Amino acid sequence: MQVITSKDNEIIKDIRKLKEKKYRNLDGKYIIEGIKIIEEAIQEKANIDTIVICEDCVRNGEIEAKLLYEIAKYNCIYVTEKIYNMITDTQTPQGILAVINKQEKDRNINFEEDLIVVLDGIQDPGNLGTILRTIDSVGLTQVIVSKNTTDAYNPKVVRSTMGAIFRVNIIEAENLVQTIKEIKKHKFKVLVTSLETQDNFYDVTLNKNVIVIGNEANGVSKEILEIADTQVKIPMLGKTESLNASVATGVILYEYVRQKIKSK
């Protein structure tokens, strides 16, 4: 087995570049890291370009033989621990990562779903990753994001999705307001959360709704508030006035689940 030992190796240099959004966009590739998400990538038949393995992890038995057998079917390279630490994005790496070729995006919105989640300027990678994971968990298959939403292929986002990145279609809207107006033509109502209303979120029937989740600091943009059909507030019994964006999304989507189960 050949082991890469030089930081100047062209493959290693190309992988390191993928830590930056501009190179992820240019090359059409992104990095996933860790045993579980690589198992998910194989299971979901993701377009795996290269798998990178730290040779010491193989020697230490940290990667099970079953996974080693599966990844041997792909283009694999082995690196020293020193080189691996130069390309990893985690504090406690498991010694295995993969470069994934981005799939061709389906830019068409699926109007058959009961609920469409729209993200308006979400900035925190952890929030975005958790939102994608939550969308996947309730059986939805798409999300629409504004151009100023953080990159969905940021390593921290990908890690937070826990594999949902392979199942949720991420549609980037060139003009979010125009995109929402187009969705409204398909008999969807636009619902936004706001601190400026007293209307209770739990009084809304979540069917054929667009749910807009706003920026962590500024909330939903003014232009979208103006075209919203309903503004609601998630009721708080304590002194906290608002919820983290990913938590608010979870509350809304699991109320959707509750209503869906109740209606059966």
DSSP 205-227: --SSEEEEEEBTTTBS-HHHHHH
Looking at residue 251, its pLDDT comes to 96
Of 13-17, 102-106, 115-119, 255-259, the range with the lowest mean pLDDT is: 102-106
Domain boundary among 101, 129, 154: 101
Alpha carbons 114 and 217: distance in angstroms, whole number? 28
Beta bridge partners of 96: 53
**What is the rounded average pLDDT of the residues 201-212?**
94
Instruction: Cite the beta strand spans of the chain per DSSP E.
Output: 3-4, 29-33, 48-54, 76-79, 96-101, 115-120, 142-146, 169-173, 189-193, 209-214, 230-232
Over residues 56-80, the pLDDT tens digits come to: 877 766 778 888 889 999 999 999 9
Q: Are residues 130 and 232 in the same domain?
A: yes
Q: Are residues 155 and 231 in the same domain?
A: yes
- Number of other residues whose CB lies within 10 A of the CB of residue 11: 14
Q: Are residues 59 and 154 in the same domain?
A: no
- In this structure, is residue 194 part of a structural domain? yes
pLDDT-based confidence at residue 242 (cuts at 50, 70, 90): confident
Q: Is 27 exposed, middle or buried (0-12, 13-18, 19+ CB in 10 A)?
A: middle
Q: From 15, 18, 21, select the one nearest 147 (Cα to Cα).
A: 21
- In this structure, is residue 107 part of a structural domain? no
Looking at residue 109, its pLDDT comes to 95
- In this structure, is residue 231 part of a structural domain? yes
**What is the rounded average pLDDT of the residues 12-24?**
96
Structure tokens that stand for 58 in this block = 């193989």
- In this structure, is residue 35 part of a structural domain? yes
Q: Are residues 206 and 256 in the same domain?
A: yes
Reading phi first (left if > 0) and then psi (alpha if -120 to 50, else beta), residue 30 is in beta
Q: Are residues 258 and 131 in the same domain?
A: yes
CATH number at residue 177: 3.40.1280.10
Q: Are residues 97 and 119 in the same domain?
A: no
CATH number at residue 34: 3.30.1330.30
What is the percentage of the chain residues whose pLDDT exceeds 90?
80
Q: Are residues 129 and 205 in the same domain?
A: yes
Q: Which domain holds residue 59?
A: 3-101
Q: Are residues 237 and 123 in the same domain?
A: yes
Q: Are residues 20 and 119 in the same domain?
A: no
Is residue 117's pLDDT more than 90?
yes
**What is the rounded average pLDDT of the residues 219-246?**
91
- In this structure, is residue 145 part of a structural domain? yes
Structure tokens that stand for 190 in this block = 């636009």
Looking at residue 66, its pLDDT comes to 85
Is 157:132 a contact under the CB 8 Å cutoff?
A: yes
Looking at residue 195, its pLDDT comes to 80
Looking at residue 61, its pLDDT comes to 67
- In this structure, is residue 110 part of a structural domain? no
Report the relative pairing of strands 48-54 and 96-101 from DSSP bridges.
antiparallel
Q: Are residues 216 and 93 in the same domain?
A: no
Looking at residue 49, its pLDDT comes to 97
Place of tokens 């050949």: 2
Looking at residue 1, its pLDDT comes to 63
**What is the rounded average pLDDT of the residues 104-119?**
91
Q: Are residues 87 and 145 in the same domain?
A: no
Is residue 96's pLDDT more than 70?
yes
The total domain count for the chain is 2
Over residues 138-192, the pLDDT tens digits come to: 999 999 999 999 999 999 999 999 999 999 999 999 999 999 999 999 999 999 9
Domain boundary among 101, 125, 147: 101
Q: Are residues 249 and 158 in the same domain?
A: yes
Domain boundary among 45, 66, 101: 101
